[in-house]
Structures are given as C-alpha cells and as structure tokens.
Amino acid sequence: MADDPFILFDTWFAEARESEPNDSNAMALATADASGRPAVRMVLLKGHGPEGFVFYTNRESRKADDLAGNPAAALLFHWKSLRRQIRIEGPVTDVSDAEADAYFATRSRDSQLGAWASDQSRPLASREAFEARFEDMRERFEGGDVPRPPHWSGYRVVPERIEFWQDRAHRLHERRLFTRTANGWNQGLLYP
C-alpha cells in the first residue's frame, strides 16, 4: 500500500470507477448543526486532492445551514463491489467563486436550471409547483447561458483523518489510518 493517503485514495477510486455500476463518486456526508444534532445524506465527489474533497450544493440547504454553524464534516465512500470503504474527517472551507463557476459550467443545462428552481430542503407544496418553477427558469434563461445562482456553490472537506477499510474473512478486517500532522501524515493500523 502507498504511504501517501491521496495516492492510495486515487488507486481505490480508480478501481471503484471500474467496478461500481452507478455513482462511484457517491459519498455519505455527515454534518452536525451548531447544537450537535447530526444529519447524513449522499452527495457526489466533484474534485479531490491534497487540499481536500469537494462537493457542491445549494447554500440554503440543511447541510449548508449545518456547515455555517459547525464547519466540520465526515465523508464515507462505500464500494460494496470492492468490499472497501474510506472515511474522511476534517474542517470544511468554501471553494472559490472561480471554482464554483467553472464546475457549474460543466453541468447539464437542466441541472443548471434545477439549481435556480429548487429551494433545497425547504417545504414543497407539490411536485407540480417545482416543475412549474423549473419551466419558469427554462423560459427565463432561454437563448442564453445559465449563470451560477448566488446561493449555489461548493465546499471542501480538508482531511485531518483518512481511514481505509478493507473487508476480510471472518470479520478480521484491515483498517489503515492516516492522521494529518504539522509535518505530513502519520499512519498506523486499527483493530477491526
């Protein structure tokens, strides 16, 4: 195994892209609000490297509210076909406007329009109401580019801990933990 957690992540992630039938970049995102109440949901990894793991969302969503009050998170990748998982924990920072704009420009037009139409995590009277808002956005931006909404951006989880878990027979799993220090990464094993 690699001594650099990002090299190991890249290796496992490449294998997941080959073996997982859907959304190999899906990760569980756990947050807690300012009072400590936890919440978890699935999001998609849209960038990663030594500076952190990036996802995008509506800044008026519950996850964004949680991160505003408690800017720390945990991520979990679970690749059942490989019998592996990776856990990542650390503080959360905002991506730059330039990064958010660049990623938003790669989204499908309907996804861009959906970002304008959705009041994510807010009560919705009916599916028809949302579909009508979506059609309003389609008309609003017809014939032009769809700019990134001011309430839509990204977050970066800056890892302080990265754990690689590999399933083994008889529940004798292998767990390898990397912990960030001022001089790089310490690594060791954990009992299963």
Q: Quote the longest CA-to-CA distance of the chain.
A: 60
Enter the pTM of the model. 0.94
| Cα gap 134→143, rounded to integer Å | 16
Q: Average of pLDDT values for 30-45?
A: 97
Residue 125's alpha-carbon distances to 58, 110, 115, 122, 192, in angstroms, are: 19, 21, 18, 10, 47
Q: Which two tokens stand for residue 84?
A: 């592996």
Q: Average of pLDDT values for 53-72?
A: 97
Query: Looking at 156, 161, 171, 175, which residue is catalytic?
Result: 171
What pLDDT is recorded for position 21?
83
Give pLDDT tens digits for 95-143.
Answer: 999 999 999 999 999 999 999 999 988 899 999 999 999 999 999 999 9
**Is 171 an annotated catalytic residue?**
yes
The single-letter DSSP state of residue 41 is: E
What pLDDT is recorded for position 92?
98
Q: Is 70 exceeded by the pLDDT of residue 1? A: no
User: What is the pLDDT of the chain when averaged over all its residues?
Assistant: 96
Domains contained in the chain, CATH given: 5-107+150-190 (2.30.110.10)
